[in-house]
Amino acid sequence: MRYLFIIAITLFSMQSIYAQYGYGRGYGGYGGYGRSRMGSMMGASQTPQGPTEEPPTAAEIAEERLPDYVAEFELDPFQTEVLRTYLEDYFNKVMGLQKDETKDAETMRKDFERMQNEFKADLKSILTEEEVEKLIAMDFSNSAVRKRKKNRDN
């Protein structure tokens, strides 16, 4: 049962990354977003859309989350750098899996579980079992980040 809970949290986290950073096909003119096809066919003016926002890199996501992890687990500088490396590697693998359109859903799920287990094994080199579970379950919604920051400042 605990294993299913961890998988559910992990899948929710992936969805959070999709929603927060716009991965997938919702941006950039896919699926009907952006300029109307009918308008462009009817001779509508071609105004520039402006710069499109690039999704953040794995390094940027790791850098954004690292201060919360350091504060929560009171990591020393060495542990912080090791965690940064683990996070970047993990997020690169997850993003690569998300972009791979050749795999079916079941294969992707199995690959993601394998990556998750490898990530947990890496984390156990610098954190306890309880801290690893807590790190995996941390919420990075805007409200949760604000709440943690407010608690640290008080």
For residue 84, the enclosing domain spans 2-41+54-153
Q: Which residues contact 61 (CB under 8 A, 6 or more apart)?
A: 17, 21, 87, 91
CA atoms within a 13 Å half-sphere pointing along the CA-CB vector of 103 = 13
- Give the span between the Cα atoms of 70 and 103, in whole angstroms: 35
For the chain, give percent helix, strand, coil, nearest 5: 70, 0, 30
| CB-based contact 107:86 (threshold 8 Å) | no
In a domain, 48, yes or no: no
Domain count, the chain: 1
Q: How far, in whole angstroms, is CA 66 from its chain's centroid? A: 13
pLDDT tens readout for residues 53-71: 888 999 999 999 999 999 9
In a domain, 95, yes or no: yes
In a domain, 46, yes or no: no
In a domain, 49, yes or no: no
In a domain, 64, yes or no: yes
Q: Is the pLDDT of residue 74 over 50?
A: yes
What does the block give as tokens for 96?
Answer: 């690569």
Give pLDDT, residue 83. 96
pLDDT tens readout for residues 5-61: 455 455 455 555 555 555 444 444 444 444 444 444 444 445 556 567 888 999 999
- Predicted TM-score (pTM) of this structure: 0.62
- Give the span between the Cα atoms of 124 and 128, in whole angstroms: 6
In a domain, 116, yes or no: yes
